[in-house]
Amino acid sequence: MTVKERYEELKKKIVKRKEEFDAFVDMLEKKTSWLTSPASTRFHLNSEGGLLEHSVGVAETLLKLRETLAPQISEESCVIVGLFHDVGKIGMPGKPRYLKNTNQWEVEKRGMTYKVNPEETYMNLAVRSLYLIAKYIPLSDSEAQAILYHDGQYVEANKEVAHREVPLTLLVQFADNWTACIYEEGRPIQEDTDYYKKEND
């Protein structure tokens, strides 16, 4: 399945807030860089469509975790949180955050295929995600917390949520990391066979 097909499958899981979800997606697809934005300037998925690929991947991983660990949480919650946790990376409607880098030296030597739009109004990315989503889709407290703190303790400012994460927050943190490190970066899953050896062995 292509990323686009997987994206369409995820959309089908929205039932209760379909009207609001559809309005948000329509705005994203028509007025923002949502379908073309990279996921970063020089790290993972720094190419056209990278953000959508990452977002679809995280939503799918989150759905798998939900099924195994927390079927009480709705699939709809997982799709909204997984798919849009990084939506702040689009910037704002009409003001994309990432612009194609025209400096060939930086592109070739440093792998910086994109650069941050110098005209953006700075905002923490997770805050911007929550800000954008909340304008369109009514969220539960858990969904809001999960979007806001999805980077977990990798981000200094997220200390404030330590030990107070709701289950959905824990799940999206793990889904985000696993998707980026294993599926996108391709970190191999190998069994560690170097057992402890006794001296004189």
Closer to Fe ion at the Cβ: 14 or 172? 172
* Beta-carbon count within 10 A of 41 CB: 18
Closer to Fe ion at the Cβ: 86 or 165? 86
Under the criterion CB under 5 A, does residue 143 sit at the interface with Fe ion?
no
Part of the chain binding Fe ion (CB under 5 A), chosen from 6-14, 42-50, 82-90, 99-107 = 82-90
Closer to Fe ion at the Cβ: 107 or 131? 131
Query: Least CB distance from residue 70 to Fe ion, whole Å?
Result: 19
Under the criterion CB under 5 A, does residue 165 sit at the interface with Fe ion?
no
Under the criterion CB under 5 A, does residue 86 sit at the interface with Fe ion?
yes
Q: Which of 131, 121, 96 is nearest to 24 (CA)?
A: 131
Give the footprint of Fe ion on residues 12-41 (CB under 5 A): none
HSE-CB of 192 using CA atoms within 13 angstroms: 3
Query: Least CB distance from residue 55 to Fe ion, whole Å?
Result: 7
- Count, residues near Fe ion per rule CB under 5 A: 2
Under the criterion CB under 5 A, does residue 176 sit at the interface with Fe ion?
yes
- Chain residues in the site for Fe ion (CB under 5 A): 86, 176
